[in-house]
Chain A
Amino acid sequence: MSPNSCGSAPVHAETEVHFRDAAAKALLDPQLRANFRRAMDGLITKRKAQFPDPRDLQDLRDLSTAIRSRSLLNLPELLEQFEANCTKNGIKVHWAETCEQANELILGIMQAKGAKTLVKGKSMVSEEMHLNAFLESKGIEALESDLGEYIIQLDGETPSHIIMPAIHKNKDQIARQFSQKIKDAKYTEDVDELTAMARKVLRQKFLDADAGLSGVNFAVAETGTLCLVENEGNGRMSTHVPPLHIAVMGLEKVVARLEDVAPLYAILTRSATGQAVSTYFNLITGPRGAGEKDGPQEVHLVILDNGRSRIYADPQLRATLRCIRCGACMNHCPVYTRVGGHAYEAVYPGPIGKILTPQMEGVGVRHDLIHGSSLCGACGEVCPVEIPIPEILVRLRREATHEDLGSAVAGKGTGRTATEDWAWRLWAGVTKRPTLYRIATWFATRFGKALPAGAPLIKNWTQSRTKPVPARRSLSERMRTEGGPHA
């Protein structure tokens, strides 16, 4: 189905707004739309089945929100405690303010051990750092071992979802791709055979790799533990088989106690994939101990800031950092469902990406994302840690158009256009004066029908809809003449 099958063909925007353009392009791909709709419907249904009682869900949300809020409130102290305990456990902790610093740190760690190949578990922070491209430029092979990540890496793509990176593809597309890209592979659409093909390649890579890299789902301050949630066992292989393990995490991931992890884990897997538990849950507390037969000889942890401390400094925006990266906001977003993750042209797509990306990169730079939402509120409603995404979007829209709000948001005021300023001044000028408003509505009711469908604003509306025609007499006018008691 074409996106505007019940209207005329899309008209291009006069000014370049990349989310709108990329989204419009994505909407023209019926296969992509069908893949996303099917996948998101499935995920919504599975999540719903995990929460049969809305009160239980709310209890768990309240608890999870409280844990994440409390963790953030004490973030500096918890990070110090976490670092101290990691060090005690033999994990070498490194701090990076920028992605460049984080990349250089990882390169340095690998070079010091003479490591040339890296096998990776899933890590959104490493996507944020564009680590693979960086390492490749330094002659190091970085292979994604999560099946979805492996599939998109074969095609030179980026993830279109934070949990299910290859969700935009169906099995037929993957079958074609494997038969072309994997050595000696035969064409098959059998999912088990396809999985076995990837498994065969990856098994050897786990054994051969000099180093393994992983993300961190929860970092426990009191014990210095890295928690890793996964379904495929590849995370365990990446962190366990190679002699060197490097973990990367955003600095917001820390929680105070081990007991904080259980509720967060419970709501994470249920919200993300509709699973009560994931297939694997790893607790990593350090390198191979004396007398132990397996595990890496060295474990390093890189803790990345990349704008997070700036977000942390603002009490309202700080809620963004509660995110546990479950992707539920994407799965339930009517915009994401239709355009897919790549249209956002950002590492983090969907609703959370719409607030996180502009905060990291600047509200002026990603002004397009802030306005790519109907503010329907589905994301806020489903978020397991109750991040008020719609409210933060409106806040960022303010930031993008005002220089004088006295916050630390980068690029504030740069999304402002003279046309929009003028339009809202005019709107307020008319709307706050009842007499002027009355005259305007009188004209609209009498002449609204005559307004051409190609007029500004109406032109966009009428791409797929008939022109809205005002009633012949407004409610106010009718109440004046036939309406009864007035104040």
Chain B
Amino acid sequence: MRNPPGGLQVNGSKPQKVYFYGTCLVDLFFPDAGMAGIQLLREAGVEVVFPEGQTCCGQPAFNCGYWEEAREVARTQVALFPQDLPVILPSGSCAGMMKVHYPELFHGQPDEAKVRAFSARVYELTQFLVDVLDVKLKDLGEPVKVTWHSSCHAVRDLGLKGEPQALIGQLAQVELAPLTREHECCGFGGTFSVRQPEISAAMSCDKAADAEATGASVVLSTDGGCLLNVNGTLEAKNSKLKVQHVAEFLWERTRAR
């Protein structure tokens, strides 16, 4: 697999200002998670710039082999982040696309160097909160039991090493109950879920059952795709279990009511 990104410290000091990239799934389905991510960064003393005109990182086309189309879209996104600031994404999968796969996608293209420089500035939100900002969270919520689903791309493409769990672990009133198969794919896989609906359903059902068996009341993840998938499956079986993006959960827990 690819090497995890190195050198998380930005110029040896904590950055004062960052870009936020919402991603298409958060934009459309989980705007609260996007807002929460921005608030968490602001709370940590960072100015957040949200450029207008954000659409999609291009991963769906890239994964399906339509690289020309993916490049056209990726170019328009890179152009939105001209200043030398970190780019923060509330998604392991899209962050993995921009950080790890953009250099592949633009290999041999005239703008390869520019894209590589952009990729080097990309961080997944929890990674940035832990590894760069070293945030300390104070839990203001009621006792709750949660479980954590690892996004395949966050772990295997991007190289996330337990940063989200470390943040959840800072919350005194939150019990984190592990899944039996935390690292197993939930069955989303982008177009996989509609190309192979039967296999995808089997995977999603198993993930939902695993989450229910933990006795947790909420499944957390750092990826909109996984959340959408697991949520749809839980809803279809009228489960009491809910899903939530980790950013939204962290913001709710640390916010005075």
Which residues of A line the B interface, CB within 8 A? 3-7, 10-11, 19-20, 23-24, 27, 33, 334-335, 338-339, 371-378, 380-381, 386, 388, 391, 394, 396-402, 420, 424-425, 427-428, 431-434, 437, 441, 444-445, 448, 457, 460-471, 473-480, 483-487
Contacts and interface: CB of A to CB of B under 8 A. Distances in A.
B41 to A, nearest CB: 11
A452 to B, nearest CB: 15
B69 A425 contact: yes
B233 interface: yes
Given A4-B198, A394-B62, A475-B31, 18 more contacts: A27-B202, A374-B189, A386-B1, A400-B65, A424-B64, A425-B69, A432-B76, A448-B28, A461-B194, A463-B198, A464-B204, A465-B233, A467-B232, A473-B31, A476-B27, A479-B52, A484-B42, A486-B49
List the 9 closest pairs (A to B, CB-CB), nearest first: A374-B189, A465-B232, A397-B65, A464-B201, A434-B53, A376-B185, A377-B156, A6-B237, A428-B69
Nearest to B157: A377
Nearest to A474: B27
A204 to B, nearest CB: 44
Given A376-B185, A465-B204, A428 B72 contact: yes
Interface of B: 1, 19, 22, 26-32, 34-35, 38, 42, 47-56, 58, 60-67, 69-70, 72-73, 75-76, 80, 104, 152-153, 156-157, 183-185, 187-205, 208, 228-229, 231-233, 235-237
Contacts of A478: 31, 34-35
A424 B187 CA distance: 22
Contacts of B22: 475-476, 479
A10 B207 CA distance: 19
Contacts of B61: 424, 427-428
A425 B48 CA distance: 33
Given A334-B203, A374-B187, A378-B152, A485 B197 contact: no
B31 A20 contact: no
Contact of A376 (B27, B73, B104, B152): B152
A377 B153 contact: yes
Most chain A Cβ neighbours within 10 Å, of B51, B67, B153, B199: B199
Contacts of B195: 20, 371, 460
B29 to A, nearest CB: 6
B28 A7 contact: no
Nearest to B184: A334
Given A401-B66, A445-B28, A471-B30, A487 B49 contact: yes
B199 A23 contact: yes
A480 B52 contact: yes
Contacts of A398: 65-67
A11 B42 CA distance: 47
Given A10-B198, A335-B199, A434 B52 contact: yes
Given A431-B56, A471-B31, A374 B200 contact: yes
A431 B197 contact: no
Most chain B Cβ neighbours within 10 Å, of A335, A338, A402, A441: A335
A334 B192 contact: no
Given A4-B202, A398-B65, A432-B55, A461 B50 contact: no
Contact of A470 (B29, B54, B76, B232): B29
Given A6-B237, A434-B76, A478-B35, A380 B198 contact: no
A437 B75 CA distance: 15
A7 B236 contact: yes
A377 B51 contact: no
B228 to A, nearest CB: 5
26 contacts: A6-B208, A6-B233, A7-B205, A23-B199, A372-B196, A373-B189, A374-B200, A375-B190, A376-B152, A378-B156, A378-B185, A380-B1, A400-B65, A420-B64, A428-B66, A428-B73, A460-B194, A463-B201, A464-B197, A464-B200, A464-B204, A471-B28, A476-B52, A483-B35, A486-B49, A486-B52
Contact of B63 (A397, A425, A441, A471): A397
B29 A377 contact: no
A335 to B, nearest CB: 6
Most chain B Cβ neighbours within 10 Å, of A27, A376, A427, A469: A376
Contacts of A377: 1, 152-153, 156-157
Contacts of A487: 19, 49-52, 80
A402 to B, nearest CB: 7
A387 to B, nearest CB: 10
B32 to A, nearest CB: 8
Given A377-B157, A402-B65, A3 B201 contact: yes
B198 A23 contact: yes
Contacts of B32: 471
B26 to A, nearest CB: 6
Nearest to A374: B189
Most chain B Cβ neighbours within 10 Å, of A334, A398, A399, A471: A334
Nearest to B34: A475
A1 to B, nearest CB: 8
Contact of B185 (A19, A374, A380, A461): A374
Contacts of A445: 28
